[in-house]
Amino acid sequence: MCRKLSGIGLAVLTNFTNVAQADIYHRDTISEFRAVSIAYDALVCGIWVTNESNEVVLLSTFGKELRRFDTGMRSVRSLTVEENGILIANGWGEFRRLDREGRAVDAPFRLSDALYDTEGLHRDADGSYLVVEDDPSRLMRISPDGTVLMELYGDSFDPPMTEPQGVTRDPYSGNILVVDDNEGLNSLFELAPDGRVLSVSPLSQYGVDAEGVALQPETGTLYVGFDSGRALAIFDWIPTEITINTPLERGPDCAYS
């Protein structure tokens, strides 16, 4: 049964004016499942999840475990999907590529000298990377060669996004989705490509400490992982507005949508 955000969750934003809320409806929650970074992969019709251990888990879009493997990295803080597998990061500047079976594609490397505390990571349709860090609070776009193409500070947003933890992008609307954890608003920020705040949706009634976010774009299914709350919540989501003229490439249709 779906529930639109209401009640105590709305109270979080009562001190802010002119803040819209997205159309987001709760569908289900997988309890006792820690998810600090999430990435949707249409090629395998699943959700890659990490919990800051050495492992990565692949879930179906309904939450059933499909695969689990040791990454060889002591702790995986964030991950994203690429054409030939996944890119993982340990949150201390080190990155590594794995294929979808967990085999290392290359040796550990630095994606950019500008990145240190990578909390969230998303490979965009043009091959660049959206990255969020929380110390300082910033949203960045990094080219494949490590060049910083965009750098926006969350403290300057209205309301401020002080603890960004996870990031993804909707290829249809062009909007960027970022979750802010309990040290911030514990909310979902919906942003235009230039960082303009479109909506802020409280998440506290669904979980504690939002840290991961992923979107299955062809169905509008949104996944939010809660760290200390140990839960993976599933929502139906509709963008607040369209911010690009032409939809981005989104990869193949999920076979089990």
pLDDT tens for the 257 residues of the chain, in order: 343 443 334 444 444 556 788 899 999 999 999 999 999 999 999 999 999 999 999 999 999 999 999 999 999 999 999 999 999 999 999 999 999 999 999 999 999 999 988 999 999 999 999 999 998 999 999 999 999 999 999 999 999 999 999 999 999 999 999 999 999 999 999 999 999 999 999 999 999 999 999 999 999 999 999 999 899 999 999 999 999 999 998 888 885 54
Indicate which CATH number applies to the domain containing 69: 2.120.10.30
pLDDT at 4: 41
pLDDT at 253: 83
Distances in Å between the Cα of 83 and the Cα atoms of 14, 98, 160, 238 are: 42, 11, 34, 26
pLDDT at 255: 59
Could you tell me if residue 183 is inside a domain? yes
Range of the domain at 67: 3-238
Give me the count of residues in the chain.
Answer: 257
Q: What SS3 state is found at 156?
A: helix
Could you tell me if residue 252 is inside a domain? no
Instruction: Report yes or no on whether pTM surpasses 0.85.
Output: yes
pLDDT at 52: 93
pLDDT at 10: 42
For residues 202 and 240, what is the distance between their CA atoms, to the nearest angstrom?
15
Which class for 34: exposed (0-12), middle (13-18), buried (19 or more C-beta within 10 A)? buried
Contacts of 245 (CB under 8 A, 6+ apart): none
Provide φ and ψ at 100, rounded to 5°: -75, -5
* 8 A C-beta contact, residue 157 and residue 197: yes
How many folded domains does the chain comprise? Answer: 1
Could you tell me if residue 226 is inside a domain? yes
Could you tell me if residue 254 is inside a domain? no
List the beta bridge partners of residue 197: 191
For residues 61 and 47, what is the distance between their CA atoms, to the nearest angstrom?
6
